[in-house]
Amino acid sequence: MLMLRRPRRNRNSKLIRELTCETRLSTEQLVYPLFLENGEGIKKEISSLPGNFRFSVDQVLEEIGECIELGLAKFILFPAIAEELKDELATHSFAEDNFYLEAARQIKQAFPETLLISDVAMDPYSSDGHDGLVLDGRIVNDESLLILSRMAIAQAQAGFDIIAPSDMMDGRVEFIRDALDQNEFTETPIMSYTAKYASAYYGPFRDALDSAPKEGDKKTYQMNPANKREALIEGELDTAEGADYLMVKPALHYLDIIHQMKEHFELPIAAYHVSGECAMLIAACEKGWLDYDQAMPEVLNSIARAGADVIITYFAKDFARQFGS
Ligand code: PBG
């Protein structure tokens, strides 16, 4: 048959497929989330997220050492806080003896070549389990900002390289930017959780940290999963307020949002491939229904193809193991 265009010519061999590949996902783009707990010798697997653990600092140093060997050097850290240290004002988040801040210091000392991203939100430290301050049953916005900014300064002082507010309070990027600037952290970037949805897929994460809200849900601050244009409002505000990255979270069920953000904004776009999204695939693979080594990179590629420059994923270490840096 005479045919001028034969698209299969560009798929004919492995080497040709390499030349015509449109999305080149690399370990360099990946950020690996790690859960921390105070203590020693702790490495507890999270039952709803197999292969992921709650580490004490000594153990996380070993884990990070292994990751660096694999070419993976970027991490986002989350603390599990003892119940008795939680209070309504999340004061432990900026306390002198906060082990999360101490962990960052120790990691940076042992591995200066790492990049550490913090999480700014009240939930791990709040006796109410909400990201902002609860007053008379309502999550109040402006009163939360002062607490969040104190947390951000403490994290920058501890050596975190990027500050990542995940709380979804209005005006927090500007407030935190001002606070950082006034404390001589003008060079510390903010990775804003710009379009963070009120998603059911944070379940394993909240198991990992015991950080679920004690009452109610997060729908008055996290976005409605049905909304797309609203992400543009958040993106415009975060850009105007001085964010250095715009994040979409979750990732897989929000590929259209990632794509839209990439089209509309010039800032780097990050996507958080959240715990529940990873857990789904792990569960199917454990049942033998899907092949992990093939499905995992396909999933991460879809997030990159949608437009994410940075991907935060619990699969980062496995990807690095399979593909190197
Ligand atoms: C805290 C925070 C959450 C996640 C990241 N930061 C949970 C939440 O908002 O309830 C979820 C990450 C994941 O599920 O992997 N504000």
> CA 5 to CA 136: how far, in whole Å?
67
Check: CB of residue 45 under 8 Å from CB of residue 53: yes
The number of the ligand 1 atom at minimal distance from the alpha carbon of 314 is: 15
The tens digit of pLDDT for each residue in 31-44 reads 999 999 999 999 99
What pLDDT, on a 0 to 100 scale, did the predictor assign at position 318?
98
Q: Is residue 290 over pLDDT 90?
A: yes
Q: Is residue 209 over pLDDT 90?
A: no
The number of the ligand 1 atom at minimal distance from the alpha carbon of 276 is: 14
Pick from 205, 207, 253, 313 the residue to mutate for probing ligand 1's pocket: most ligand atoms within 8 Å of its CB: 205
Pocket of ligand 1 (CB under 6 A): 119, 121, 123, 131, 166, 202, 205-206, 274-275
The number of the ligand 1 atom at minimal distance from the alpha carbon of 201 is: 14
The tens digit of pLDDT for each residue in 57-109 reads 999 999 999 999 999 999 999 999 999 999 999 999 999 999 999 999 999 99
What pLDDT, on a 0 to 100 scale, did the predictor assign at position 281?
98
Measured in degrees and rounded to the nearest 5, phi and psi for residue 123 equal: -55, -40
Which of the residues 74, 86, 218, 249 is marked catalytic? Answer: 249
Q: Is 249 a catalytic residue?
A: yes
Sign of the Cα torsion 34, 191, 199, 219 reads positive
Read off the pTM: 0.97
Query: Percent of the chain at pLDDT above 90?
Result: 96
The tens digit of pLDDT for each residue in 180-192 reads 999 999 999 999 9
- If you measure from the C-alpha of residue 269 to the centroid of ligand 1, how many angstroms do you get, rounded to a whole number? 18
Domains of the chain as residue ranges with CATH:
25-323 (3.20.20.70)
- If you measure from the C-alpha of residue 204 to the centroid of ligand 1, how many angstroms do you get, rounded to a whole number? 9
Binned at pLDDT 50, 70 and 90, residue 294 comes out as: very high
What pLDDT, on a 0 to 100 scale, did the predictor assign at position 212?
87
Task: Point out the least confidently predicted range of 119-128, 205-214, 221-230.
Answer: 205-214
> CA 185 to CA 218: how far, in whole Å?
30
What pLDDT, on a 0 to 100 scale, did the predictor assign at position 325?
62
Mean pLDDT, the chain, integer: 97
Q: Is 317 a catalytic residue?
A: no
Mean pLDDT of the region 226-231: 98
What pLDDT, on a 0 to 100 scale, did the predictor assign at position 210?
84
The tens digit of pLDDT for each residue in 233-269 reads 999 999 999 999 999 999 999 999 999 999 999 999 9
